[in-house]
Structure 1
Amino acid sequence: MKKTLIGFFAVSLLSILNVSGQETFKVMFYNLLNYPLEDAVPNREDDLELILSNYQPDLFLVCELNNSTGADNVLNITRSAININFEMATYVSNTSDDSGSDQNDLQNLLYYDSTKFTIEEELIVPTDLRDFNIYRIRLNTIDQDTNPIDIYVVICHLKASSGVENAQRRFEMVQELDAYLNTLPEETNILLGGDLNLYTASESAFQELLDGTNNIVFADPPNRVGSWNNNVNFVDVFTQSTRTQNGLGGSTGGFDDRFDFILTSENMLDTSDVTYVPDSYQVYGNNGLASCYNRRINSSDCGTINSQFSFEIRDALHNFSDHLPVTLSLETDATLLSTKDVSLVDALSLEKNIIDYNIFIYINSFELLNEQLYVFDMTGKRVKTLRTNTNTRQEYDLSDLQNGLYILAAPNSNLNPIKFIISH
């Protein structure tokens, strides 16, 4: 059974760990397909939760968010599916003017693990159609005050559709981005995730991004540069369309296009303080099978018994969006701040998950003694703070809480939250 969607707020106490070694961060970009206004597929939030639970990104970049309600819903899903420390950047409606059609309900946004990153700056580069949303994030390292490691995360959605006029509009949008990037130092770390709607690498918008004379030169991490559209030789980097059936929203063309990308500045391939992990670029849900060409992603043609991505994952991807997410990993030798790590099995458990007035909690780790536990309701509001003692079995009065579903979380540990029901 897929997880019930629960929202709850993150509270974390950072402490310095005297540990060294390489840190790795997982990044995902995903076109959310007009979320939440597109409702042809019911309960598709459950599909997104399954996808995020499986991949566990540290940075989650999205486009095609319709409104602040959708933004908050996705935040709650990240907290339930990944961890309670997830936060989101400021939701801002599109500021760019599209006089040709009403596209101002397609927003970009960044979600991130707040134990690993902090947002230092939020910027917008407008175009004639849709904004480039740019976030300067900082790694939470032990020496961030004296030796900060920053990454500029660019999220975008270029003009859709084929044809000379649309290709020109994509190029002009990228020119606006380059005008801003030219104000940054050449060694700046840039991560760009977007639905670029490109049919071929020879298109001027893509060539502008890779232009070696620019201040910031982008690289295609998998180095799969070519003419992608309807070319089965590039099936391993195809991202659209997951569908062939009408009536689900989005494109129905089957698997034949590379529209979605994560690009990095060239320095992030090898010389930066935070670099791309070689061979980590992947289209999530794409098993790289030539037989998947022009098929729906949950078709038997798109997976075998030995494939990495199961039918369950591919079916969730098919149901949630007409695009597949793109993923890669980054790494650094810097030492991060971290939450206290409690990894004992059954360190925190409940006597019963359906209670009347009192809740009985078992504490099986000294790490959780004399600590705080939080109770969250379904809206993400913290409704109780419980202080543990030194007993193994501890009782707390929750008679003042209304009937419903709640979450018990240990904010100073990496333990998964526990769901329980109050039924008076």
Structure 2
Amino acid sequence: MKKNIIITFFLCAFSLNGLFAQETFKMMFYNLLNFPLQSIPPNRIQYLETILSNYQPDIFMVCELNNESASNGILNMMQQSINTNYAGANFVLNTSDDNFGNQNDLQNMLYYDSSKFILESQTVITTIYRDFNHYRLKLNTTQQGTNPIYIDAIVCHLKASSGSENEVLRLQMINDLENYLDTLPANSNVILAGDFNMYTSSETGFVELANPSNNITFTDPANRLGSWHTNATFIDVFTQSTRTATGLGGATGGFDDRFDFILTSENMISNTDLYYVNNSYKVFGNNNNPSCFNQEINSTNCDGSDFSFSIRNALYNFSDHLPVTIELQTNQTLGINDYAFQQPIEFINGNMINSILSLKIQPEFISNQTLYVYDSIGKLIKTINTKNSIYINEDLSMLANGLYYIVLPQLNVKPLKFVISH
């Protein structure tokens, strides 16, 4: 009798495990160190390829990206070397320094696996110094039509350097962010990733982020609060500097600071739809070796079982920062939904376009639909609102000749291809 009960228990456990499938997503943030204007060492993208090929993030967030050409180059490398499903958000220039500098040479950006996520929107949050960039992603699950799950990923690069004046500037930037976050639903799943340039969790800007009275309260998933600067007890979360040698750009102080973070909204620690995976917060390339304090990341002092010399050497050559990674999990299942086998839109005059894109939308799909037009490298070119109309005629005469894709983010259907030939 006892044996039968045990067998029944394991059969039930196996069945429940199948019913409640879990999907895990890998997120990475990385300060790219003035890429690609910092030209030494040459051909730095080869080292980034080594790093990303090893980790293969589902969402890749960056700062210190210089220009759109470099952004496209990274996306092309990721598509060709890692996963053809990678796509990029719309590249935008920093605007927050227009009144006092207008250099606009350090941008934020987000890349994502388009088979797992749908980019719903992106918003620039201006501050007194540098923009925050908000990317709203929807999980591409079988329940997206009835129970959609969103990630609000915000990427930032706060004012650098120590001193009370710079702390005040960082706090002002965060206050600008908090004013924007007040407009979001309080239960939003928010990720804040960036180079914070903070030396301690008691800095007023960090305290403000964790303020429990905020509409969105952030928490440190690593649970490593304190005074990080040159404090070897925090070496497990150090992210800078990978170098002591000069001539490579960036900081040269050796491994002694925690500047880079991925924070989550508090609800992501405890909710069930989308949540932080316990103990998944890692600094990529950091072997938590006490001998690494104030050393170069590719030295034998930084050896360990997690990250090999070849990975640490690529990190050393690419940037003075290390990337930060976390994992998120959902109980929903990725895949196709009920609309997957129906094509909701069709070309009226074929998919060879001179100037006018003519489409017919099936009546059951016309309500509140938005069409996105992407170019061949995954850049969002145009957004078209169907305005509840069956027939769409859109002037695309301003677009260059080439291959384009129409994507319906609300529905899980294959993109439609069309060619512009003027």
Flag whether TM exceeds 0.5 (same fold).
yes
Identity of aligned residues (%): 58
Q: Closer, same or farther in 2 for the Cα pair 1:81/1:224, shift >3 Å?
A: farther
Deviation at 1:272, TM superposition (A): 4.4
Aligned residue type for 2:308 = S
Distance in 2 (alpha carbons) for counterparts of 1:167 and 1:237: 21
Q: Secondary structure at the match of 1:208?
A: helix
1:136-147 equivalences in 2 (<5 Å): 136-147=136-147
1:310 to 305, 308, 311: 308
1:88 is matched with which residue?
88
Residue aligned with 1:77, SS: helix
User: Is there any run of 5+ residues in structure 2 with no aligned partner, and where?
Assistant: 1-17, 338-375, 379-422
Do the aligned residues in 1 keep the contact of 2:75 with 2:377 (CA within 8 Å)?
no
Which letter does structure 1 place at the counterpart of 2:319? Answer: S
Are residues 1:68 and 2:81 paired? no
State the shift of 1:319 in Å.
0.2
SS at match of 1:180: helix
Q: What is the identity, as a one-letter code, of the residue corresponding to 2:94?
A: N
Local SS of the residue matching 2:233: helix
**Using the alignment, how far apart are the partners of 2:167 and 2:73 within structure 1?**
33
Q: Which residue of 1 aligns with 2:322?
A: 324
CA contact (8 A) 2:272 2:331 kept: no
Q: 1:234 to 1:280 in 2, by over 3 A?
A: same
Contact in 1 for aligned 2:131/2:156 (Cα 8 Å): yes
Contact 1:19 1:335 in 2 (8 A): no
Per-residue CA shift, 1:356-411, capped at 9, x if unaligned? Answer: xxxxxxxxxxxxxxxxxxxxxxx969xxxxxxxxxxxxxxxxxxxxxxxxxxxxxx
Per-residue CA deviation, residues 260-282 of structure 1 (Å, 9 max, x unaligned), is 00000000011141100000000
SS of equivalent to 1:170: helix
Alignment of 1:61-210 (within 5 A): 61-97=61-97, 101=101, 103-210=103-210
Tell me the alpha carbon deviations over residues 64-105 of structure 1, each in whole angstroms, 9 at most, x when there is no partner: 010001100110122133200000000000011255555511
Q: Taking CA–CA contacts closer than 8 Å with sequence separation of 6 or more, which of the two structures ends up with the larger relative contact order?
A: 1
Q: Secondary structure at the match of 1:337?
A: coil
How many Å separate the matches in 2 of 1:157 and 1:215?
Answer: 22
Q: How far, CA to CA, are the matches of 1:138 and 1:205 in structure 2? A: 29
- Separation in structure 1 between the aligned mates of residue 298 and residue 36 of structure 2, nearest angstrom: 22
Q: Tell me, yes or no, if the aligned pair for 1:30 and 1:62 is still in contact at 8 Å.
A: yes
For residues 182 and 273 of structure 1, the distance between their equivalents in structure 2, rounded to whole angstroms, comes to 22
Equivalent in the alignment of 1:222:
222
Task: For residue 52 of structure 1, report the CA deviation from its aligned partner.
Answer: 0.4
1:42 corresponding residue in structure 2: 42
Q: For residue 169 of structure 1, give the secondary structure of its aligned residue in structure 2.
A: helix
* 1:98-118 residue CA offsets vs partner (Å, 9 max, x unmatched): 555555110001100000000
Tell me how far apart the structure 1 counterparts of residues 90 and 53 of structure 2 sit (CA, whole Å): 23
Equivalent-residue separation in structure 1 for 2:159 and 2:140 (angstroms) = 35
Matched residue, 2:346: none
Distance 1:19 1:60 in 2: 30
Q: How does 1:262-273 map to 2 (within 5 A)?
A: 262-273=262-273
Work out the CA distance in 2 between the residues paired with 1:177 and 1:156.
Answer: 10
Which letter does structure 1 place at the counterpart of 2:182?
Answer: N
Which structure: greater helix fraction?
2
Between the aligned partners of 1:29 and 1:46, the Cα distance in structure 2 is 18
2 CA distance for matches of 1:201 and 1:276?
A: 21
Q: 1:303·1:309 contact (CA, 8 Å) conserved in 2?
A: yes
> Partners of 1:104 and 1:156 in 2: how far apart?
14
Map Cα deviations across residues 276-334 of structure 1 (whole Å, 9 max, x no partner).
Answer: 00000000000001110100100110014xx2100000000000000000001000000
- Which AA in structure 2 matches 1:325? P
Determine the C-alpha separation between the residues in 2 that align with 1:69 and 1:330. Answer: 31
Equivalent in the alignment of 1:286 = 286
Q: Distance in 2 between matches of 1:380 and 1:132?
A: 24
C-alpha deviation, 1:31, in angstroms:
0.4
1:14-53 equivalent positions in 2, closer than 5 A? 21-53=21-53
CA contact (8 A) 2:277 2:329 kept: yes
Alignment match, 1:406:
none
Structure 1 residue 238, shift from structure 2 partner: 0.3
Superposed structure 1 runs of 4+ greater than 4 Å apart? 98-103
Query: Kindly tell me: are residues 102 and 95 of structure 1, through their superposed partners in 2, closer, same or farther at Cα, counting changes over 3 Å?
Result: closer
SS at match of 1:73: helix
| 1:33 shift after superposition | 0.5
CA contact 1:268–1:274 (8 Å) conserved in 2 = yes
Secondary structure of residue in 1 paired with 2:148? coil
Counterpart Cα distance in 2 of 1:278 and 1:173:
30
Whole-Å Cα distance in 2 between the matches of residues 303 and 261 of structure 1?
Answer: 23
Question: Contact 2:260–2:324 at 8 Å: present in 1 too?
Answer: yes
Count of aligned pairs: 323
Q: TM-score, normalised by structure 2?
A: 0.74
Residue ranges of structure 1 left out of the alignment (5+ in a row):
1-17, 340-378, 382-424
